[in-house]
Chains A and B, each alone.
Chain A
Amino acid sequence: MAQKLKFEEKTIVPNSFYHITIMMLYSFLEYVRSRRFFILLLITIAIGMLLTGVVAYYRPQSFLVSEQSFYANWWGETVTFIIILSAVFFGGDAISGEFQNKTGYFLVGNPIRRSSIYLGKFLAAFCGALIMLLVFTAMTIGNGLYYFGGVTNLFWESLSFSVLYLATAIGMTFFFSSIFKTNSTAIVVTIILMLFVFSLMQSLVANLAHYEPWFIVTYGAQIINNVLMNPYPPSTQTTAAPLPHGQSITVTSYNATVPEGLIIMIGYFIVSLVTGLILFEHKEFN
């Protein structure tokens, strides 16, 4: 190779905000071209199609009694699942992959703060997951318009809570992904926690300990569905369930109010994002 170096650039290292946008742009490209993006898109569309088919064929009363109940049943029950799935798909290995796949070696040695890499990737994952949410939103609204000719204002409220929950869920998956160095561990732990452990803990704390599970994120996320209920469920509700031989059991259910739900989700978002960032800052490429 006889060719001589001929390039002569003068470089001025950009500020961290610009670095974040660079990382976001290229990570987003990586996300949207990945196979998992198309798989998730197919899953989201399949869920929407399934609901469309079921409602069109069986015409369930619970869905079609009112516009609000339609959105509560269609959206409220399903969207949290799509959010968690999207968060896991895009965030599960976002940070652990930098170590296991060695992509971090390509980036970290450059004049860029690790926090810029982390935040850029977070925003890219959020944008990718937002596409899924918007696809499902479009299918929901399409059906809502078909059956009721409009969209209740409460739906927009619920949608905004969903966007917040999406950011929180991705923040949490990034946090778990920062703890582990292998992708499979990060993804499995995130799925188990987000889909099962939090819900289980919430039930146990509320029903057995009779304590409001205000510290569990899935409890806060209930406002996505609750806001579509008419009337909004009371914050504490005690009901006596009959048992054989004339006995009964008292069941207490708790519902976060909208401000409580927002505080819980924002709290989780901030704590998980900051702790994940700190973990990534101090993690070593061994």
Chain B
Amino acid sequence: MTLPSLEAINLTKKYGSFTALSKLNLKLEGSKCVGFLGPNGAGKTTTLKIFTDMIRPTGGMALINGIDVNKEKKKALKSVGVLIETPEIYGSLSAREALSMIAEIKGISRASVRKSVEDVSELVKMKGLLNQKIKKMSKGMKQRINIAAAILGNPEIVILDEPTSGLDPRGMSEVRDIIKDLKKENRLIFMSSHLLSEVSEICDDVAMINHGKLLAYGPIEKIVEKFSKVGAVEVEVNLFRPVTGDTIDRLRNIKGVRSVKKVDSKTVLLQVIGGLKGQEEVLSRLVRIKLGIVGFKQSSSALEETYLSMFKETV
């Protein structure tokens, strides 16, 4: 079975003298979630719009599963779910009609349209409101319908541009859960977001872009390790016993731990070197020395620190 893929080859987009994308080369392949990060105007949405035929590149190619979206749009997008910005939907249609329209466009058989629409609307908690007119819905409700439209037809690639935009905290959490669910099957998710904690939580890899150029691409922990000031990953460790001076000394002596910082009475932050393997070794040693470890996870602020250090000069 071929893996789903998105590939930008020398992708360039110019608006007069302004270059939004400059020979971007990026290949995403396989079942994973890739966060697309960069400051405003970096070229994230431009890239996603080129992949979804909303704008045309000035040069280069955008390939979906090896097919140029600019030349064979229908074929390229046949198994892609798309949510770019915050789309509006024809206001006089009901949510059911709007989703049925997209289902029919995507080629879901007439006999399955109703069930598919109900399934996706259940996922986004909108099943009870399917017969409501779009124009009577709030921004958050419309965004849920947009997400439902994107995942209709069970696409193998999902392109999302700030998917939690406009949602309340509960809605954001639910959308994150949907994306995590989408990841579980052979599916590639390419998602831009300004919420770094969201990207840390959902994504496996990140691609960082600025001034239309790719700065970095790879697994989050590798990017964090490579680009953070200290060259290490920050890991939050929760203990069920209070952290004492002795605990900190023992933690400092573990191979692979560069520094230890007490956060509160039962939590410490470790700077760990050696990537995922390094983390695995540190974790196994922590278990072995029986400090009472109950939690071990990469700090959500690690990506943020990396991001800030990479883009500190960008206004």
Chain A positions near chain B (C-beta within 8 angstroms): 1-9, 11-14, 19, 22, 26-27, 29-30, 33-34, 101-114, 282, 284-286
Contacts and interface: CB of A to CB of B under 8 A. Distances in A.
Contacts of A109: 52-54, 77, 80, 82-84, 159
Interface string B111-150: 0100110011011010000000000000000000010010
Given A111-B73, A111-B107, A6 B119 contact: yes
B106 A111 contact: yes
Contact of A11 (B75, B119, B153, B181): B153
13 contacts: A1-B177, A3-B122, A9-B112, A11-B79, A11-B108, A11-B153, A13-B74, A27-B90, A29-B97, A104-B54, A109-B54, A109-B84, A111-B76
A22 B87 contact: no
B185 interface: yes
Given A26-B93, A110-B82, A5 B106 contact: no
Nearest to A106: B87
Contacts of B146: 106
A11 B54 contact: no
Given A7-B154, A105-B54, A282-B56, A30 B93 contact: yes
Contact of A284 (B54, B82, B149): B54
Contacts of B105: 14, 19, 22, 107, 110-112
Nearest to A7: B119
Contact of A113 (B74, B108, B125, B149): B74
Interface of B: 49, 52-56, 73-80, 82-93, 97-98, 101-102, 104-109, 112, 115-116, 119-120, 122-123, 125, 146, 149, 151, 153-154, 159, 173-174, 177-178, 181-182, 184-185
A108 B53 contact: yes
Contacts of B102: 106, 110
Contact of B90 (A19, A103, A112): A103
A286 B14 CA distance: 12
B107 A13 contact: yes
A30 B92 contact: yes
Contacts of B83: 109
Contacts, number: 135
A34 B266 CA distance: 61
> Looking at B73, B85, B151, which has the most chain A CB atoms within 10 Å of its CB?
B73
Contacts of B173: 1
A93 B93 CA distance: 18
Given A109-B52, A110-B106, A111-B106, A103 B89 contact: yes
B104 A102 contact: no
A4 B52 contact: no
B170 to A, nearest CB: 10
A5 B153 CA distance: 11
A34 B135 CA distance: 11
A34 B107 CA distance: 28
Nearest to B102: A110
A108 to B, nearest CB: 6
A282 B174 CA distance: 37
Contact of B116 (A7, A34, A110, A285): A7
Contacts of A33: 92
Contacts of A26: 90, 93, 97-98, 101
A80 to B, nearest CB: 29
Contact of A112 (B49, B74, B86, B97): B74
Contact of A5 (B53, B79, B87, B151): B151
A109 B85 CA distance: 11
A103 B93 CA distance: 12
A113 B97 contact: no
A105 B79 CA distance: 17
Nearest to B133: A33
A105 B154 contact: no
Contact of A108 (B52, B76, B104, B115): B52
A1 B178 contact: yes
A62 to B, nearest CB: 42
